[in-house]
Amino acid sequence: MKSSQPYILGDSQRAARRLEVQDAHFAAVSEQLLDDLALMPADRVVEFGCGAGSFSKRVLRRLGEGGVLIGVDSSEGLLHQAKALCENLGPARFEPVLADIAKLGSWLEGADVVTARTMLHHIPMVEFLLGRLRARLKPGTRIGFLEPDFRTPLGRLAYLEATGRPELAPLSMWGTAINQLYLANHISPAVGATLAQTLSMAGYRNVRSAWVETRSDALTVENMLMFYDEVGPRLDSLGIMSFGEIARQCRLLRELPTENLPPAWGIFRVACEA
Ligand SMILES: C[S@@+](CC[C@H](N)C(=O)[O-])C[C@H]1O[C@@H](n2cnc3c(N)ncnc32)[C@H](O)[C@@H]1O
């Protein structure tokens, strides 16, 4: 079984911009997760898949003197950008670590908190990792994850399209493309839906789970366009969507009025203790 693979989205400056757009999109739910984690100034926090550092910045703002954030990512390009963004932000220290989180290295030692935003679904069969993670943590370690949901909103989108809003089709096409890309890479786009149950089964305590939908607006559409821009060649080569169809979908997205759009994403927020 493959434990990890290259990050299937991009790691360029443009990918970092997409993650920044995503951060604005997930601002409220990110802060709620950090409230759940009850961060204390001197905590040692380990962040899985910190990417270009936009969630890391939010964590660091809540830490103080003696606090440390270990940002672990397998993409050198994104980690480099995280370093530039997060160094010298305040009293707490940022330590970037280039590693595959599936291997649970020595960087995990002494963690008071383990967190990740929109990351777990990039790990094939992440349930194994979550079980092994609990075995490595000291009891009481606080855990918090945000995982996106690209599937459940498709039910409402399909209903709306069938009842007089055909212009919403590019939102569902995008949802289909991202789901199919993940499935073609043997990763599950729906890890969040079963995350609370997985953590309970692995013996984590006090598991709390919430689901919220995220608004659809001009930022959402920008994010979708960037997705096509980054992974277009892979969508084409995997037979998920041809270049011609991608160009058509991008045009339809650009033409879509951004007022009054129904959500195309949800997000699961799950917290517990080891
Ligand atoms: C969708 S991005 C999220 C980035 C960041 N958490 C945020 O919310 O802005 C997923 C991140 O996970 C990283 N990643 C994917 N697989 C990984 C692995 N096996 N080990 C470490 N990092 C990984 C990618 O490089 C990428 O930075």
Domain architecture of the chain: domains with CATH: 13-273 (3.40.50.150)
CB 49 within 8 A of CB 122: yes
**Mean pLDDT computed over 13-35:** 85
> Can you give the pLDDT at residue 219?
87
Minimum-distance ligand 1 atom for the alpha carbon of 19: 9
Percent of the chain at pLDDT exceeding 70: 95
Chain-wide mean pLDDT for the chain? 93
> Can you give the pLDDT at residue 1?
39
pLDDT tens per residue across span 98-119: 999 999 999 999 999 999 999 9
Band of residue 2 on the pLDDT scale cut at 50, 70, 90 = very low
Residue 267 in contact with ligand 1 by CB distance below 6 A: no
Nearest CA residue ID for atom 20, ligand 1: 100
Does position 150 have pLDDT exceeding 60, yes or no? yes
Residue 55 in contact with ligand 1 by CB distance below 6 A: yes
> Can you give the pLDDT at residue 20?
77
> Can you give the pLDDT at residue 6?
58
Beta-carbon count within 10 A of 256 CB = 18
216 φ, ψ (degrees, to nearest 5): -105, 125
Tell me the torsion sign for CA atoms 28, 203, 108, 67.
Answer: positive
Pocket test for ligand 1, best of 46, 73, 80, 118 (most atoms within 8 A of CB): 73
pLDDT tens per residue across span 151-208: 999 999 999 999 999 999 999 999 999 999 999 999 998 999 999 999 999 999 999 9
> Can you give the pLDDT at residue 17?
75
pLDDT tens per residue across span 60-101: 999 999 999 999 999 999 999 999 999 988 899 999 999 999
- Measured between alpha carbons, how far apart are the two ends of the chain, in Å? 26
Does position 4 have pLDDT exceeding 90, yes or no? no
Residue length, the chain? 274
Does position 264 have pLDDT exceeding 80, yes or no? yes
| HEC assignment per residue over 119-178 | CHHHCCCHHHHHHHHHHHCCCCCEEEEEEEECCCHHHHHHHHHHCCCHHHHHHHHHHHHH
> Can you give the pLDDT at residue 3?
43
Residue 123 in contact with ligand 1 by CB distance below 6 A: yes
Residue 230 neighbours by CB under 8 Å, 6+ apart: 9, 10, 12, 14, 15, 18
Local structure of 87: helix, strand or coil: coil
CB 139 within 8 A of CB 274: yes
Rounded CA separation 85/181 (Å): 29
Band of residue 21 on the pLDDT scale cut at 50, 70, 90 = confident
CA of 116 to the centre of ligand 1 (A): 9
Which single residue is written with the structure tokens 């789901």? 179
CA of 79 to the centre of ligand 1 (A): 10
CB 133 within 8 A of CB 104: yes
CB 240 within 8 A of CB 126: no
CB 177 within 8 A of CB 202: no
Residue 50 in contact with ligand 1 by CB distance below 6 A: yes
DSSP state of 263: E
**Mean pLDDT computed over 129-143:** 98
Minimum-distance ligand 1 atom for the alpha carbon of 146: 8
**Mean pLDDT computed over 119-143:** 97
| HEC assignment per residue over 14-68 | HHHHHHHHHHHHCHHHHHHHHHHHCCCCCCEEEEECCCCCHHHHHHHHHCCCCCE
